[in-house]
Amino acid sequence: MKKAGIIFKKEIKEVIRNKNIWLPILIITAIFSIAIPLFIILGSSSLLSDEDTMNFINKMFGHVDDPIRVLIGFALNQLLIFLLILPAMVPSLIAPSSVIMEKENNTLEPLLATPVKTSELLLGKSLTAWVPAFFISTISFIILTIVVDIAAFIKLDYAPLPNIEWIIVAFLLSPILSFILTMASIIVSSRSTDIRSAQGIGAVIIFPIYLIIGLQLAGLFLLNITYLLIGCLVLLAICPLVLKLAVKVFDRENILTRWKMKG
């Protein structure tokens, strides 16, 4: 555990200095945590004047006494799911870099030649991706909450966040998803010599997120607490399997031999 901590402290400094990682993250945070929530809340009254919007609310929720709160609550749930893009994207940017960049800088071979266990090495590298992902996603959820509550209180005299869905997504689903994507990125990067192809793993998880939102907007599916908890349990059961696979796939000798031959 101590050796894993040393690896984490060394690599997290390089991650913090990497502007290529932080720029897309800042853009996504600004869009989904600030711009879109303000548009939804401030424009909610005009949305209700649209007949299609009212038909959608009646189809999904039946007759409601306060349609504007129902509409805002539904829209915020979509934003919470959208923000899962962050814990999906951050590990796919950081984890492949921590393996392939070491190969390109000729620092991986000395590291693999040390008595550090494979599990300690992977733990250190996974923390390098998982900790920033959890920190960034949590900060984004907090910013979203502050922006939404201030705007909603000014316009509607109530503060809708945080709610139970917010808590589940921010503190259960998000970190679990980050861990799985971190391990998956390490697995892919250990079998790849191209950082771009390794980083493509993050795109795979984004499609199901879009699918969930699309089904809800089509009125075919309504994400609730039960589905969120089921999703957390399923993904949590996958975590040890992905970890075991990562340790098995990360064959130190084969990685060194393959990269030497291609170098």
DSSP labels for 136-202?
Answer: HHHHHHHHHHHHHHHHHHHHHS----S-HHHHHIIIIIHHHHHHHHHHHHHHHHHT-S-HHHHHTHH
Confidence bin at 127 (pLDDT 50/70/90): confident
Please calculate the CA angle 173-178-182 and round it to the nearest 5 degrees: 155
**How deeply is 116 buried, as exposed, middle or buried, from its count of CB atoms within 10 A (0-12, 13-18, 19+)?**
middle
* pLDDT, tens digit, 9 for 90 and up, residues 190-238: 766 666 665 666 566 567 776 776 777 666 667 788 988 998 999 999 9
The pLDDT value given to residue 261: 43
Query: Are 87 and 133 within 8 A, CB to CB?
Result: yes
Q: Name which residue leads in pLDDT, 237 or 23.
A: 237
| Domain total in the chain | 1
**Picking from 12-26, 69-83, 108-122, which range would have the lowest pLDDT averaged per residue?**
108-122
Tell me the C-alpha distance between 160 and 40, whole Å: 13
Range of the domain at 191: 2-262
Locate the DSSP E strands across the chain. Answer: none
Q: What is the mean pLDDT of residues 40-58?
A: 79
Please calculate the CA angle 106-111-115 and round it to the nearest 5 degrees: 155
The pLDDT value given to residue 182: 82
Tell me the C-alpha distance between 252 and 113, whole Å: 9
Average pLDDT for the chain: 78
**Nearest by Cα to 102 from 231, 204, 15:** 15
Confidence bin at 94 (pLDDT 50/70/90): confident
The pLDDT value given to residue 229: 92
- Cis before 24 (ω within 30): no
Tokens of 30: 């600004």
The pLDDT value given to residue 15: 76
**Picking from 111-120, 175-184, 190-199, 251-260, which range would have the lowest pLDDT averaged per residue?**
251-260
